[in-house]
Amino acid sequence: MYIPYGRQCVDEEDIQEVVKVLQSDYLTTGPMVTEFENRVAQYVGAKYAVAVNSGTAALHIACLAAGIGQGDEVITSPVTFAASSNCVLYCGGTPVFADIDKDTYNISPDEIESKLTENTKAIIPVHYTGQPCDMDAIMDIAKRHGLLVIEDGAHALGASYMGKKIGGIADMTCFSFHPVKPITTGEGGMVVTDNEELYRRLTLFRSHGITRDGDMMTHNEGGWYYEQLELGYNYRITDISCALGNSQMNKLDRFLEKRRAIADRYNQAFEGVSRIKTPTVQEGCESGWHLYMIQVMGCDRKAVFDRLRENGIGVNVHYIPVYRHPYYQRNGYGGVCCPNAELFYDRAISLPIFPALTNEQQGYVIDKVLEAVM
């Protein structure tokens, strides 16, 4: 038996939806893409959505649409997947890491304030594990300093903050549909926004910077005519992927319920165990429970990790603070240290959590974790 930390949940209905597209006229950039965009936008309460072929591409076009470039600083969390800051580097900007809050593991608004300079252009808060960041405080900082906020919601589709779904709060929010994420399209991502101008720029950057829209072109030479207005990319997603995405959207709320139940059971099982710190959920928030992180204290994390892996449990560590990676160390981040992120990294273990995890499997994981920390 091997239990991974995360896994997609794809059923016969999903498969049939994909097969239908394979037999249709459009394999890419057809009706499924638009339908998927509309469904996600409606679900999260955003006006516009632009689907792309990865969460990383979503972050990249969001930074491009925001106008991030040489000399611009963008503040983000060190406890995240590297894509959250790589997207800034792609644009020639400079990621600046602000430390996390010790309890929520999300970027701390006070730390953001302390990193502001006259070159700060944007903030990329990451809703780590699916738990929403302190968005009121972050939006307030952004407003006072004229900054854009791009949420990395890769973990947080379906999560909510003060009764509002993630995706309806900041200037732009990026989602990922990688197989371990809340829903999957294989590979895929999306940016949602309420801002029409940002939306137009996002669609340009998705497809080579090319438009056929008469309102955007400098002039029109005839029915064949189009113009490249920006240096864009081919980040288009296929109709095949979006058919899967649409079918998965039918199940998102069920998936979230299942994740919540799994998190509740872990919380109960580890309550009062002094060597395990369970996640804290911020008041007024509903986590999407993409990850279930524990911190182990008073025992050797590596020993616990190895023991669980030996027992067929695909535990993981999310994440190595991004500035620690050799690429970042070589490129000016050698002196960076976020103490809370470091402490968290030393103790963190992520346990299996995904909709298809069975009661029996979870019981086994709980037993082995309790054994390993004793």
Ligand X SMILES: *Cc1c(COP(=O)(O)O)cnc(C)c1O
Residues within the interface to ligand X (CB under 6 A): 54-56, 80-81, 83-84, 126, 152, 154-155, 176, 178, 189
Whichever of 126 and 204 has its CB closer to ligand X, that residue is 126
Query: Is-contact 138 120, C-beta < 8 A?
Result: no
Whichever of 125 and 355 has its CB closer to ligand X, that residue is 125
Least spacing, CB of residue 71 vs ligand X, in Å = 24
Least spacing, CB of residue 177 vs ligand X, in Å = 7
Least spacing, CB of residue 54 vs ligand X, in Å = 4
Q: At what angle do helices 12-22 and 239-249 cross, to 10 degrees?
A: 150
Least spacing, CB of residue 83 vs ligand X, in Å = 4
Report the residue number whose CB is nearest to ligand X.
Answer: 55
Least spacing, CB of residue 281 vs ligand X, in Å = 18
* Cα 157 from Cα 165, distance rounded (Å): 8
Whichever of 168 and 182 has its CB closer to ligand X, that residue is 182
Whichever of 54 and 340 has its CB closer to ligand X, that residue is 54
Alpha carbon separation from 142 to 121, 174, 255, 285, 313 (Å, rounded) = 9, 18, 33, 21, 41
Question: Phi/psi at 223 (nearest 5 deg)?
Answer: -60, -25
Least spacing, CB of residue 8 vs ligand X, in Å = 13
Helix/strand/coil percentages in the chain, nearest 5: 40, 15, 45
Whichever of 72 and 151 has its CB closer to ligand X, that residue is 151
Whichever of 79 and 372 has its CB closer to ligand X, that residue is 79
Query: Is-contact 130 262, C-beta < 8 A?
Result: no
277 membership: H or E segment, kind and range: strand 276-277
Question: Phi/psi at 132 (nearest 5 deg)?
Answer: -60, 140
Beta pairing class for 189-193 and 48-52: antiparallel
